[in-house]
Structure 1
Amino acid sequence: MLKDFLKKKRKYATIPSERAKQEVPEGLMTKCPSCRTIMYTKELKKNLLVCHSCGFHHRMTAPERIASLMDEGSFVETNKDMLSKNPLEFPTYEKKLESDRKKTELNEAIVTGYGTINGLPTVMAVMDARFRMGSMGSVVGEKITRAVEDAIEKGIPFILFSASGGARMQEGVLSLMQMAKTSAALQKLNRQGGLFISIMTHPTTGGVSASFASLGDYNFAEPKALIGFAGRRIIEQTIRQELPEDFQTAEFLLKHGQLDRVIPRNEMKETLTTILDIHQGGETNGD
């Protein structure tokens, strides 16, 4: 009798997992990967995707970041229809590109354009890690180069947000060439007295960190962003030493003089406004 009673209690006390899933709409809640706090996704987005509990910066898409910084209705996207080809005839590459286009509703791993931040004009480029892990292919490099040229032509600053796993292996040396091309364009901007603000987000690695991402007049990063060229394991195996726990974090690079400042996301717009205002109508000291 007691055994039968316990079975009945267990039956009515247990909620089937499928039913539980149906009762909580998908996307309603988000768990912070750092502190494991579960929060309403809507509230997280209101806080610019920064965890209320621990300050962890969740990844932002390019459209989300542009919306958080640019004045409403001011942003004009440029070179939107540029598409990557498959010059090396790499197997399945075209299918992967098409899959990412559908998933992200972007044509490439970067969005470029111009607009205003609190009324101050600027050209902006924002990488999106959802598309091929933000890898730098020939189209990414070309769009950055054209954005820099737009900044030169308009005589306004250029801001770039990096988020990348490095060069795109499916395009081989064509991808690596973008490091030189983008760097040359930025050197031209510098000689013209233009301003370049580089902001590195999580992650900024490989050929991107070794080229345009590190060439700003101001080099900033978001908190705890992973920034580096080679992977931690490869470096440790090469130098046969154990690296510090915070190695390749934004805070580590700031401490060692490779960044000018680590800026929390909720301070980013104010900081950029201040810098743009200081340089309004002026020029940097180009070499």
Structure 2
Amino acid sequence: MNWIDNFVRPKIRSILNPKRETPENLWVKDPESGEMVFYRDLEANQWVVPNSGHHMKIKPADRLATFLDDGKYDLVPVPSVPVDPLKFRDQKRYTDRLRESRAKTGYEDSVIVATGKLHDRPITVGIQDFEFMGGSLGMAAGQGIITGLETALRNKTPFVLFVSSGGARMQEGVLSLMQMPRTTVAVLRLREAGLPFFVVLTNPTTGGVTASYAMIGDVHLAEPGALIGFAGQRVIEQTIREKLPKGFQRSEYLYQHGMVDMVVHRHNLRSTIGSLAGILTNAPANDTFTGAAQKPLPHRQACAKPRLRRRATMTSIRRPPPRMPSSFTLD
């Protein structure tokens, strides 16, 4: 053996036959079953694990591409807001966290607004991206939701909001809490115009968003297995000193107790919301309502039929006044 065998020949082989590096994200682990799933299979299945039916987080671009007709949409610009008005810093500067999240997601903040068509009807869609600082609600996110609602009001279209958030953004303090009443007022304006507001609760939906716009829609849909609640289970148990039932903050439990109207598989959201939007806007029927009736994947069952709640403010419900008994007299 000489230096030609030890160095030259291996170098020539490496140049002629370069080693293929395996991408780190080629396989994805299912957090529910521990199964390793091929990346392309997940992407083709809208990020739903084929065997367990677990709904993983999906990017806004993928969500829009599979939800709207032909995957075509136009992003709506969101007005800019002051950045870091409190000059907040914990382990990192707030501005550094924003910079990292923007580089990671490619978006300016956690809310993305787009317009497109659903079943050949114009529609406005808003999406909260959990990858951007946990989908937290700050001034920019609140302005994004208001922009989406105002766009729907201006174009006279239904508004669909896919919610995924950990709550208010602590780095903005009370300014983030102010977005709760601001978004609520915008929702009420859309309701006064007679335009439907669909809320799709995805995993997770917690904190301040469940105390505002996420729970005041006209129809509330939830993806199977989504975590939905205000405070965490451990915090509630420590406060009330009682053991809570298993899965009490999951979408199936909330449906059983009347907190959401439907639990719909991700594959069926497009057809379900499209049909409901046509019904609520009195549009000509061009499809059948089959979204919630299709057979779901195992372990994540969708509801068999929608259960729409009645609003206490409905003026169409006339109740007769109570009758006094014949023996009743006034002193």
Q: How much has 1:73 moved relative to structure 2? A: 5.6
Aligned 8 A contact 1:84 1:108 in 2: no
User: Counterparts of 1:224 and 1:263 in 2: how far apart (Å)?
Assistant: 10
Q: Using the alignment, how far apart are the partners of 1:131 and 1:29 within structure 2?
A: 23
Report Cα offsets for 1:147-168 as digits up to 9, x if no partner.
Answer: 1111111111000000000000
Question: Partner residue of 1:63?
Answer: 61
Separation (CA, whole Å) in 2 of partners of 1:221 and 1:161 = 9
One-letter identity of the residue aligned with 1:62: P
Q: Relative to total residues, which structure has the larger helix share, 1 or 2?
A: 1
SS in 1 for 2:33: coil
SS at match of 1:199: strand
Query: In the alignment, does 2:203 pair up with 1:174?
Result: no
Change (3 A) 1:286 1:116: farther
Q: CA deviation at 1:24?
A: 3.7
Partner of residue 222, structure 1:
223
Q: AA paired with 1:63?
A: A
> In the TM superposition, what whole-angstrom CA distance separates every residue of 1:77-129 from its partner, at most 9, and x where no partner exists?
11257366001110200010001000111110010021111212111100000
What SS does the aligned partner of 2:114 have? Answer: strand
Residue equivalent to 1:260: 261
Q: How far apart are the structure 1 equivalents of 2:51 and 2:216?
A: 34
Q: Residue 85 of structure 1: SS of its match in structure 2?
A: coil
Query: Where does residue 120 of structure 2 map in the other structure?
Result: 119
Contact 1:204–1:227, Cα closer than 8 Å, also in 2: yes
User: Which amino acid in the other structure matches residue 162 of structure 1?
Assistant: V
CA distance in 2, matches of 1:185, 1:261: 24
Q: TM-score, normalised by structure 1?
A: 0.88
Distance 2:214 2:260 in 1: 11
**Counterpart in 1 of 2:52?**
54
Counterpart for residue 149 of structure 2: 148
* Separation in structure 1 between the aligned mates of residue 82 and residue 204 of structure 2, nearest angstrom: 22
Question: Is the 8 Å Cα contact of residues 65 and 71 (structure 2) preserved in structure 1?
Answer: no
**Alignment-derived partner of residue 185 in structure 2:** 184
Q: Give the CA deviation at 1:74.
A: 3.3
Q: Distance in 2 between matches of 1:141 and 1:116?
A: 24
Greater Cα shift, 72-81 or 228-237: 72-81
Partner SS, residue 163 of structure 2? strand
Contact 1:35-1:53 within 8 A present in 2 as well: no
Q: C-alpha distance in 2, partners of 1:102/1:95? A: 11
Give ranges in structure 1 of 5+ residues lacking alignment.
1-20
Name the CA shift for 1:197/1:266 in 2 (closer, same or farther; >3 Å).
same
Aligned match of 1:165: 166
**Residues of 1 paired with 2:197 and 2:109: CA distance?**
22
Matches within 5 A, 1:234-253: 234-253=235-254
Q: Deviation of residue 280 (structure 1)?
A: 3.5
Cα shift at 1:37? 1.7
Q: CA–CA distance in 2 between the matches of 1:83 and 1:201?
A: 26
Does the 8 A contact of 1:51 with 1:57 survive in 2? yes
C-alpha separation in 2, matches of 1:74 and 1:68: 9
What is the identity, as a one-letter code, of the residue corresponding to 1:40?
A: F
- 1:8 aligns with none
The offset of 1:72, in angstroms, is: 3.0
3-state SS of paired residue (1:204): strand
Task: Name the larger-Rg structure.
Answer: 2
Picking from 64, 83, 98, the partner of 1:85 is 83
Q: Tell me the residue number matched to 2:195.
A: 194
SS at structure 1 position matched to 2:56? coil
Partner of 1:9: none
SS in 1 for 2:178: helix
For residue 61 of structure 1, what is the amino acid of its counterpart? K
The RMSD of aligned alpha carbons is: 1.9
Task: Give deviations 1:44-69, integer Å, cap 9, x for gaps.
Answer: 11111111111000111111111110
Asked if the contact 2:79–2:143 (Cα under 8 Å) also holds between the matched residues in 1, the reply is no
| Aligned AA (1:56) | H
Counting only pairs closer than 5 Å after superposition, residues 74-113 of structure 1 correspond to structure 2 as 74-80=72-78, 82=80, 85-91=83-89, 92-113=93-114
